[in-house]
């Protein structure tokens, strides 16, 4: 199977377009048993639980073949999934309300909840984006945390943002913003900044030269 061309690459030839279309059809045929299992499991345990199981299975498939199979499946079960989005090996999904836009790249071993990744977003390996920062309540000292419920909210990563390896994102990230590796985002970040640390804070504007340069 052929990989998706990177953004900005020359327009593919007619033959290459046809080859990609054939690859997408082949991937859909190959993944149809998983889709059927998802439909049946959804009736028993709900769509989100069914998605968890299916994404665990498909996450184990490496290489370009795995990319195509995940694309065929996720494009039919998530709230939004552009056909140019790429999801790498080991990435797990837990919420069918997730949206992945055009040319989104999700690196290996990420964990995604109720997210909205706008066009051209890049996620490095091991990025975790749960469904907001309040998925578990813990205010009642007399009840186990697992019994206290929680609140899921959509976390949006703006167009063109880049989230580095191992970052944890629990609040919105602005368009074009860079989140450093290992950062923990607990509050919304504006557009076109560089943020780092635990908790993450803005260290400079993206287009501002770092101190000491020049």
Residues 85 and 171 in one domain: yes
Residues 50 and 126 in one domain: no
Residues 111 and 193 in one domain: yes
Tell which of 77, 105, 120 closes a domain.
77
Residues 137 and 53 in one domain: no
Residues 158 and 201 in one domain: yes
Residues 119 and 194 in one domain: yes
Instruction: Identify whether 7 is part of a domain.
Output: no
In order along its 214 residues, the chain shows pLDDT tens digits of: 334 555 555 666 888 888 878 888 999 999 999 999 999 999 999 999 999 999 999 999 999 999 999 999 999 999 999 999 999 999 999 999 999 999 999 999 999 999 999 999 999 999 999 998 777 777 778 788 787 777 889 999 999 999 999 999 999 999 999 999 999 999 999 999 999 999 999 999 998 876 666 5
Tell me which DSSP letter residue 193 carries. E
Given 82, 83, 136, 205, which residue is catalytic?
A: 136
Phi-psi label, residue 181: left if phi above 0, alpha if psi -120 to 50, beta otherwise: beta
Tell which of 40, 60, 77 closes a domain.
77
User: According to the model, what pLDDT value does residue 130 have?
Assistant: 95
Q: How many domains does the chain have?
A: 2
User: According to the model, what pLDDT value does residue 211 have?
Assistant: 66
User: According to the model, what pLDDT value does residue 139 have?
Assistant: 78
Q: Which domain holds residue 137?
A: 80-207
Instruction: Identify whether 6 is part of a domain.
Output: no
Respond yes or no: is residue 205 known to be catalytic. no
Return d(Cα 41, Cα 32) in angstroms, integer: 14
Residues 172 and 138 in one domain: yes
C-alpha dist (Å) from residue 105 to 83, 85, 118, 203, 213: 12, 6, 10, 25, 31
Helix axis angle for 63-77 and 47-59, nearest 10°, is 170
Return d(Cα 74, Cα 68) in angstroms, integer: 10
Residues 201 and 99 in one domain: yes
Return the closest-CA partner of residue 78 out of 110, 117, 120, 33.
117
User: According to the model, what pLDDT value does residue 1 have?
Assistant: 34
Residues 156 and 52 in one domain: no
Entry pTM: 0.86
Residues 125 and 54 in one domain: no
Return d(Cα 17, Cα 175) in angstroms, integer: 30
Instruction: Identify whether 143 is part of a domain.
Output: yes
Residues 22 and 105 in one domain: no
């Amino acid at each position: 199977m052929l990989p998706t061309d990177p953004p900005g690459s020359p327009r593919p030839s007619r033959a290459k377009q046809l080859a990609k279309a054939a690859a997408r059809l082949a991937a859909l045929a190959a993944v149809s048993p998983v889709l059927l299992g998802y439909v049946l499991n959804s009736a028993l345990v709900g769509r989100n639980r069914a998605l968890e199981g299916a994404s665990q299975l498909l996450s184990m498939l490496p290489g370009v073949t795995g990319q195509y199979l995940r694309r065929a499946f996720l494009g039919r079960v998530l709230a939004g999934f552009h056909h140019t989005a790429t999801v790498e090996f080991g990435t797990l999904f837990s919420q069918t309300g997730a949206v992945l836009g055009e040319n989104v790249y999700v690196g290996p071993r990420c964990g995604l909840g109720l997210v909205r990744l706008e066009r051209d977003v890049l996620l490095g390996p091991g990025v975790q984006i749960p469904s907001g920062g309040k998925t578990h309540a813990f205010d009642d000292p007399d009840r186990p945390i697992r019994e206290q419920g929680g609140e899921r909210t959509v976390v949006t990563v703006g167009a063109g943002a880049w989230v580095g390896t191992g970052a944890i994102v629990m609040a919105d990230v602005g368009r074009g913003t860079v989140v450093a590796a290992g950062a923990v985002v607990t509050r919304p970040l504006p557009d076109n900044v560089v943020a780092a640390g635990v908790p993450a804070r803005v260290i400079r504007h993206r287009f501002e030269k770092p101190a000491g340069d020049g």
